[in-house]
Amino acid sequence: MKFQITILGCSAAYPANGLLTTSQVLNINEKYYLIDCGEGTQAQLRKYRVKASKINHIFISHIHGDHILGLPGLIGSFGLLGRVAPLHIYCPEGVKEFVEAFLKYTKVRKLIYPLHFHVHQSTEPTLLLDNEDLTVTTIPMKHDAPTTGFLFQEKERPRNMRKEAIEKYDIPYQQMTAIKNGADFRTATGKVIPNKELTKAGKPSRSFAFCSDTAYTETILPQIKNVDLLYHEATFGDEKLEDIQERNIHSTARQAGQIACQANAKRLIIGHFSPRYKDLEVLLTQAREAFKNTDLAIDGRVFNVK
Amino acid sequence: MKFQITILGCSAAYPANGLLTTSQVLNINEKYYLIDCGEGTQAQLRKYRVKASKINHIFISHIHGDHILGLPGLIGSFGLLGRVAPLHIYCPEGVKEFVEAFLKYTKVRKLIYPLHFHVHQSTEPTLLLDNEDLTVTTIPMKHDAPTTGFLFQEKERPRNMRKEAIEKYDIPYQQMTAIKNGADFRTATGKVIPNKELTKAGKPSRSFAFCSDTAYTETILPQIKNVDLLYHEATFGDEKLEDIQERNIHSTARQAGQIACQANAKRLIIGHFSPRYKDLEVLLTQAREAFKNTDLAIDGRVFNVK
């Protein structure tokens, strides 16, 4: 079952050095969750062959243009392409109003698909979505606009049958799904066999945390503890540490590494690069000095969680 | 002196087949005039190395998303980059309101450069701009939203001095600019030499007409007569002729060629291609059957008027 992130944009503030602004898409089991939607997202989805029609949920971290400017185009194009499936947008205040201004002034033909906005606050972790595959919870960030990251936590996966138990108790095929999901088994003679004798633990559920935009903040650590894949913004390099500590709205690459290390994350990807960095290896090196298993979130790159 | 069009986007409705939506930029003498601003325009300007800071005038044909969705990002990024020069936007009703919604809801720091909106009507040809280099006049189009094309007409260029006259009358260097601009010359003895004896015609002034979106309409012919370079939309091919005659808002490639032919244009570029056409050569062939000197307006292509 897939658990895959595709990076669609990773530049901070405006497109630069051949990179577009923030957007990425999480594919869990061929359901797509879009995270932020910078200008050009709809074109990137096509470029990287992501099936946009399978996006039913969009998560917006904050209202800044480099995270939302692709929304009107994507929403309008869904309409042109005959979308009928509902689209859910989880966003801070203002996003709905901006999108509605687009629909109003450009006189887009009435969308025939339902468009639902779910406004989130950035003050405390909040469950946004809970379906058969995953939960999505906000992670309050430290930025100069109300901002949340998102924790995508896969649902616990079914337990696996023990082969020897199937043979020993002659378990019918029809009962296996229930047993994998934790049921006990009653034999023909009425004896109850407890589930733990019949099954072993399934593959561990996987998790992805998206943390952008944010200053360095340890308050997020409990939420992202042991996360499989962490995306953390890394707008600047070490030489800007003093500046950013003063403004307190962005992180350095090294700080992203420090957060990954303290969270005991398995893997880190850094992004949201200031246009000033034409050579991103500088940022990668600094992050890796704090957390070795780090990569750059360049447009088009795909990261799988096994 | 340059008179050069760079195509930034040419897809109709939404980005497709690797092409972005409508935008192009006219460079006259290193002053830049942006025409339409589809999503991704700011990234395209960087990609094709157009000096965006030299854009002081933006002409918007109509309110549809594929012609305006790049405006908020471009305007916001100018602000982030410290622009101070005024920016003039010539547009139909609704564009200002859409941009202002973006500025309001995303709480963009107050722009420090003046942003002037000039609302145009699409009912009759109207002079929008008249500066030392050119005039820009609207060309009413036939579309399902109020739409105007634009005629960019270079100012008459100065006459050239006749070398033999300079020697014969010993004309001082300081008087040459006035003479090139049409002044007569008074000799030391008080004799007046008429300008036509001193100069010959300068290079002819050049013109470019942007016509999109529009159904086939001959009412535009008087305005675009003898134009040096004509951009005309060519959304569909011959096989859709019946459909488009019914809807009456777009043209076929062949119709674009017919307009160029009747207008006695020197050269035609066609664009605004429906995403259904993966192979644009079909459209090019049909247009060329009506007007031979036709090319495709593909993103990144540059057209010079000599």
User: How high is the ipTM of this complex?
Assistant: 0.91
Q: d(Cα B303, Cα B306) in Å, to the nearest integer?
A: 10
Q: Rounded to 5 degrees, what angle do the CA atoms B53, B56, B57 make?
A: 135
- What average pLDDT does the structure give for chain B? 96
Query: What pLDDT, on the 0 to 100 scale, is given for residue B293?
Result: 98
Residue in B29, B21, B1, B24 with CA at minimum distance from that of residue B67: B21
- Locate the chain B residue with the closest alpha carbon to A97: B105
Query: Model pTM greater than 0.95?
Result: no
Q: How confident is the model at residue B305 (pLDDT cuts 50, 70, 90)?
A: very high
Q: Count of residues for chain B? A: 306
Residue in A138, A158, A113, A151 with CA at minimum distance from that of residue A26: A151
Q: How confident is the model at residue B60 (pLDDT cuts 50, 70, 90)?
A: very high
Q: d(Cα A43, Cα B224) in Å, to the nearest integer?
A: 34
Query: What pLDDT, on the 0 to 100 scale, is given for residue A107?
Result: 76
Question: From the DSSP assignment, how many helices (H) and strands (E) are in chain B?
Answer: 11, 18
Confirm or reject contact between A80 and chain B (CB < 8 A): yes
The answer to whether the bond into B133 is cis (omega within 30° of 0) is no
> Which residues of chain B have a CB within 8 Å of the CB of A43?
15, 20, 39-40
Q: d(Cα A89, Cα B99) in Å, to the nearest integer?
A: 21
Reduced to 3 states (helix: H, G, I; strand: E, B; else coil), residue B124 is coil
Q: Is the pLDDT of residue B108 over 80?
A: no
Average pLDDT over residues B39-47: 98
Q: d(Cα A133, Cα A208) in Å, to the nearest integer?
A: 13
B9-29, pLDDT tens digit by residue?
999 999 999 999 999 999 998
Average pLDDT over residues B197-219: 95
Q: How confident is the model at residue B109 (pLDDT cuts 50, 70, 90)?
A: low
DSSP B280: T
Contact B37, B74 (CB under 8 A): yes
Asked if B97's CB is within 8 angstroms of A106's CB, the reply is no
Residue in A63, A101, A107 nearest the CB of B107: A63
Burial class of residue A123 (count of CB atoms within 10 Å of its CB; 0-12, 13-18, 19+): exposed
- Locate the chain A residue with the closest alpha carbon to B18: A47
Q: d(Cα B199, Cα B186) in Å, to the nearest integer?
A: 15
Query: What pLDDT, on the 0 to 100 scale, is given for residue A202?
Result: 86
Pick out chain A residues at pLDDT < 50: none
Q: Greatest CA separation found in chain B?
A: 75
Give CATH 3.60.15.10 domain extents, chain A.
3-157+203-304
Q: d(Cα B12, Cα B20) in Å, to the nearest integer?
A: 8
Residue in B64, B73, B105 nearest the CB of A63: B105
DSSP A197: H
Average pLDDT over residues B258-267: 98
Query: What pLDDT, on the 0 to 100 scale, is given for residue B219?
Result: 98
Query: What pLDDT, on the 0 to 100 scale, is given for residue A109?
Result: 65
Q: Among 3.40.309.10, 3.40.47.40, 3.60.15.10, 3.40.50.970, what is the CATH number of A3-157+203-304?
A: 3.60.15.10
